Structure 1
Amino acid sequence: MLTRPMMLMMAVSLSGLLGFYLLFSTVPLYAASGGGGESGAGLSTGAMMLSTVLMELAVPWLLARLGYRAVMALGLVLLGLPALALPLSPALPLVAAVSLLRGGGLGVIVVTGTALTAELVPAERRGEGLGLYGIAVGIPSILGLPLGLWSAGTFGFTPVFLVAGLVPLVGLAAALGLPSTRPARSRGEGGAGLRGLTAPTLVFASVTVAVGVLVTFLPLAGSPELASVALLMQSLGTPAARWWAGRFGDRHGSARLLAPGVLAAAAGMALQVWLDGPVPVVAGMALFGAGFGVLQNATLAVMFERGSVSRVSAVWNLAFDAGMGVGATGFGLLAGHTGYPLGFALVAALVAATLPLTRQAALPPEPAPAGDAPLGKVGKAG
């Protein structure tokens, strides 16, 4: 599976996402320090996730016209250049504008990387291939989330912003070696295909809501130092669980992992109610990370059984980023009325409420409509 295009694609994704994760929890703190408060912190993440979702809707169209290489390069530029403007001011209008541009770059990178992975790996090992990709894109979160928070507290915000802006631009060298191919168009995939994606999408979206809440507000709810350790544990557990879930799914079926993933994520979220307890906070984030990683792979593999590469990649990443945006923005408004412990408990209940959907998501997929392009085939760039 580790072909040259696969290695280059993972290098591009790693550089882009490292720039993203360095600022994911740092920018909300920066916005709050500029007078934005909790609502400003939530808005900075929400604005980025909004533009991510909007761009993800456009990525299949861009891929069909420009090909993988050009679209990946566009994503790196959008993630890198705007971050270099952040040292100018912590004022909310500037932070929100930068977040909107960087969110567009994130949408490009995640949809294109997921789709290209599905194209490059053998169909019978797709779960493992997606797990391997998950490890590669998990490295930036392992390094970036805690390192961004620690560096901002130790050296100040400006050095973090400069590094986070330059790292994606370095990845342009690897992007030049990506295939210039573009996904083959699929025909006939209509409402039936979308209905088949609904249940796994909702299951996954519920846990990404929790992710948006945790990465934005866990540093604000308690000790930033404890939050850094807890987020590191989550970041370590997620890619490992995602890779394991891929190997298990290829052999035994990914659908049977959906319910355990939901239960682990809900339990881990519920443990965050004890904000001042290092053991429940860190152990809970490790458990949440494991459930999140399992659901990342299992929902994506189940969805690839039901739809074409570009559509599934776009829908799955929409669930990922829309959920994080809704979680960050909504919880920013909710926490002022409920406080953090009750708010975290309500988010845990939301994740657990999707458990009945895991049974529906595990049902065998409907036969593919006539005329659909086979998964894994790519058309040559014009």
Structure 2
Amino acid sequence: MRTGLHSVTFWLLLVATVLAFGGYSLLLPIVPLWVTEGGAGPFGAGVTTGVLMAVTVATQFAVPWLLRRIGHRWVLVVGMVLMGAPAPLLALSSELAPVLAVTTVRGVGFGMVTVAGSALVAELLDPAEHSRGASRFGLAVGLPLLLLLPTGVAVVDWVGFTAVFVGGTIPLLGAALMLVLRIDRHGPVVAVDDPDAATAGIVAAGSGTVPEVPGRRRGELGPLLAMLAGATAQGGLITFLPVTGTAAAATLALFATAAGALVGRFLAGELVARRELGGRLLVPGVLIGAVGMAAEVVAALLTAGAAPLLVAGALLVGFGFGMVQNDSLVQLFAFGGPARYGRASALWNAAFDSGFGVGAVGLGAVAGPFGFAAAYGAGTAFLLLVAPFTRRPARA
């Protein structure tokens, strides 16, 4: 029977991930647009994404405990049901309060799915396969974003919001698929976050061996800061692109940022596996994202001809963040070791989703009184401020 990257279990996980993130991607830029139609301003639109991410992050810290109690499969099943089942209820009202109530339930489900999914990738694969496994998992996450982020905006423009909300039930198909999934780990089973196993010594990573306990927290800081800053930039863009430009320009820009992230994650996975560049892609990824956000500042200031720059900036933000996503996840797995894959996944996903929330709420708060150029400028400054702290620390 095939194991590792070629196992049926791993590929079924990827398909279920595509379905789960399909519903997430379809609704992510549409819910802010929906409450805007109901009379909410930029801050209210940002709050919808901010609440989604806040609930997601709060849930994520409980997921390692859930993984120990009920296992990866049932965490994923329940999470996908919570993501998909409430989606059609959004059509009942565009008022902020009921939308936030539905968003809260969906956020709980999303928090469960994100941590359990990426932790299961590490559980199913040997450390030497983590880089390529993370990049393939990134493709499963990125393809729905690539296809459905812009699709949702276009469908709303053609036939209205209700069809998109019904499409948000796609994660239920992923839940059905997970029910038949048999999880046979490729390596020895280690209890998630078992403190006794934390003395395992060193773990292999794409960039070599990394001490697992000494310097672990210092090593985790750079990947987490890079994730937070990159997610802030992309979260702000995804939230506000649909309400700052024409439908055509927003659709192209959303497609571009999703495509950039997809390519960035895949390229990072290959560079780490083939060139042993683990930990060296965080600074370039953050700086590429800063250039992209600077382009968005200029686009927001232009009165005409802004669309090409808007799309190019979104592409660069996505590409830089894609590099950061893959390299940071592999580094966190390496620093934590098999005993702490659940914890590493929770930290990575919390940084990801916290950043999206900060991008939506924080940049929305700036955009309200000062405009979107100032908001995108704040995102640029954050990336530049964080970049020096994302360098890989010298090994002891």
- For residue 10 of structure 1, the aligned residue among 11, 14, 20 is 14
Map of 2:203 onto structure 1: none
Cα displacement (A) at 1:183: 5.7
Cα displacement (A) at 1:36: 1.7
Map of 1:348 onto structure 2: 380
Cα displacement (A) at 1:28: 0.3
SS at match of 1:363: coil
- For residue 108 of structure 1, the aligned residue among 92, 106, 112 is 112
**1:41-77, CA deviations, whole angstroms, 9 ceiling, x for partnerless residues?**
1111111111100110111011000001111001111
Whole-Å separation in 2 of the counterparts to 1:346 and 1:40: 19
Whole-Å separation in 1 of the counterparts to 2:70 and 2:171: 20
The percent identity for this pair of structures is 39
Map of 2:122 onto structure 1: 118
Map of 1:317 onto structure 2: 349
Residue 362 and residue 144 in structure 1: after superposition, are their counterparts in 2 closer, same or farther (change >3 A)? Answer: farther
Whole-Å separation in 2 of the counterparts to 1:319 and 1:294: 15
**1:79-101, CA deviations, whole angstroms, 9 ceiling, x for partnerless residues?**
01111211111111110011111
Map of 2:26 onto structure 1: 22
1:95-174 alignment, distance < 5 Å? 95-165=99-169, 167-174=170-177
1:41-60 alignment, distance < 5 Å? 41-60=45-64
Whole-Å separation in 2 of the counterparts to 1:112 and 1:20: 16
Map of 1:225 onto structure 2: 248
Amino acid at match of 2:271: F
Q: Is the 8 A contact 1:201 1:316 kept in 2?
A: yes
Amino acid at match of 2:279: A
Whole-Å separation in 1 of the counterparts to 2:129 and 2:174: 27
Cα displacement (A) at 1:180: 5.3
Whole-Å separation in 1 of the counterparts to 2:25 and 2:267: 23
Map of 2:312 onto structure 1: 283
Structure 1 consecutive aligned stretches of length 4 or more whose deviation exceeds 6 Å = none
Cα displacement (A) at 1:191: 9.9
SS at match of 1:171: helix
Residue 224 and residue 334 in structure 1: after superposition, are their counterparts in 2 closer, same or farther (change >3 A)? Answer: same
Q: Is the 8 A contact 2:36 2:44 kept in 1?
A: yes
Whole-Å separation in 1 of the counterparts to 2:175 and 2:356: 27
Whole-Å separation in 1 of the counterparts to 2:115 and 2:357: 17
Q: Give the length in aligned residue pairs.
A: 363
Q: Is the 8 A contact 1:5 1:177 kept in 2?
A: no
Q: Is the 8 A contact 1:43 1:329 kept in 2?
A: yes
> Structure 2, unaligned stretches of length 5 or more?
199-212
- For residue 394 of structure 2, the aligned residue among 359, 363, 366 is 363
Amino acid at match of 2:177: A
- For residue 292 of structure 1, the aligned residue among 321, 328, 340 is 321
**1:211-234, CA deviations, whole angstroms, 9 ceiling, x for partnerless residues?**
111001122122232011011011
Residue 88 and residue 191 in structure 1: after superposition, are their counterparts in 2 closer, same or farther (change >3 A)? Answer: farther
Amino acid at match of 2:387: L
SS at match of 1:109: helix
Whole-Å separation in 2 of the counterparts to 1:191 and 1:321: 28
Whole-Å separation in 1 of the counterparts to 2:172 and 2:331: 34
**1:345-378, CA deviations, whole angstroms, 9 ceiling, x for partnerless residues?**
121111111111122x3433x7xxxxxxxxxxxx
Q: Is the 8 A contact 1:8 1:177 kept in 2?
A: no
Map of 1:212 onto structure 2: 235
Q: Is the 8 A contact 1:261 1:295 kept in 2?
A: yes
SS at match of 1:253: coil
> Structure 1, unaligned stretches of length 5 or more?
367-382
Map of 2:191 onto structure 1: 184
Deviates more, 1:155-164 or 1:336-345: 336-345
Residue 180 and residue 65 in structure 1: after superposition, are their counterparts in 2 closer, same or farther (change >3 A)? Answer: farther
TM-score, normalised by the number of residues in structure 1: 0.91
Cα displacement (A) at 1:25: 0.3
Q: Is the 8 A contact 2:157 2:247 kept in 1?
A: no
SS at match of 1:36: coil
Map of 1:243 onto structure 2: 266
SS at match of 2:61: helix
